[in-house]
Amino acid sequence: MPPAPLVNLRGVDKVYSNGVVALEGVDLAIREGEFVTLLGPSGCGKSTVLRLIAGLGERSAGTIEWSSTQHEIGFVFQDPTLMPWATVFGNIYLPLRVRGVNKAQARPRVERAMEQVGLAGFGNAYPRELSGGMRMRVSIARALVAEPKVLLMDEPFAALDEITRFKLNDDLLQLWAKQRWTVIFVTHSVFESVYLSTRILVMRSRPGRVSSEISLPEKREPSFRTSAAYAEQCRTVSARLAEAMA
């Protein structure tokens, strides 16, 4: 028998207090080590799914089951939301500080997280001194410092220029290949979803639900971006997205 999925959503509905039916009957199962992307138009409920998986907010119906009780989660938002008065080190240290880890104990963990995202040596810099891409790296390091096994990412690169975005995509893939996290990633970019994922869940809106899924081979090299196989897969996924939006 295949192992139980890491997290399993069955018949999940979400109705917000203003009456908006954000999700209806969402079924999805994520296995350990997958890089799954939720792809769909703005407003189809991608962020709502992610927040419910993170335990932020109550579902209105359905079940969300984890295969283990130990599932440290890291959450990366589109906006890096850094504390402007704190250094890079201070911002990354925050999740450990709120757990009562003192600075000396935290230092090697913060430094490791900084190294993972290419921020070694930037510990004393302030957010205002950094580019958008670097600020996003700080935000990712802050999610990694608690050593999560599951990384939830809500359009983390949407506000970045294309070159920075491509670089962060590649760095994220390299880290994922090494660390073997489970990643659940939200985007509305077909190109990003095909480049990053092992599986894409296409969502439709009103009400939000999963309309189809596409499994992709693991390839993971920058040269993939300009390959015919990539273009072909983007075409397939675009067609599925168009169906979902029809």
- Please tell me the distance from the alpha carbon of residue 100 to that of residue 127, in angstroms, as a whole number: 24
Among residues 7, 39, 44, 143, the one that binds ligand ADP under rule CB under 6 A: 44
Pull the structure tokens for residue 23.
């999700």
16 binds ligand ADP (CB under 6 A): yes
Q: Binding to ligand ADP by residue 58, rule CB under 6 A?
A: no
CA angle 215, 220, 224 (to 5 degrees): 95
> Any contact of residue 48 with ligand ADP (CB under 6 A)?
yes
Say which amino acid occupies 244.
A
Judged by CB, which is closer to ligand ADP: 127, or 208?
A: 208
DSSP state, residue 15: E
226 binds ligand ADP (CB under 6 A): no
**Stretch of residues binding ligand ADP (CB under 6 A), selected from 12-20, 94-102, 124-132, 231-239:** 12-20
Structure tokens at 203: 């969502």
Residue 175: half-sphere exposure toward Cβ, Cα within 13 Å: 25
Count of chain residues binding ligand ADP (CB under 6 A): 13
What's the min distance (Å) between Cβ of 51 and ligand ADP?
Answer: 8
Using the CB atoms, write b or e for 117-129: b if 16+ within 10 Å. bbbeebbeebbee
Q: Minimum distance between the CB of residue 135 and ligand ADP, rounded to whole angstroms?
A: 21
| 25 is a contact residue toward ligand ADP (CB under 6 A) | no
Q: Which residues bind ligand ADP (CB under 6 A)?
A: 16, 18, 20, 22, 40, 42-48, 208
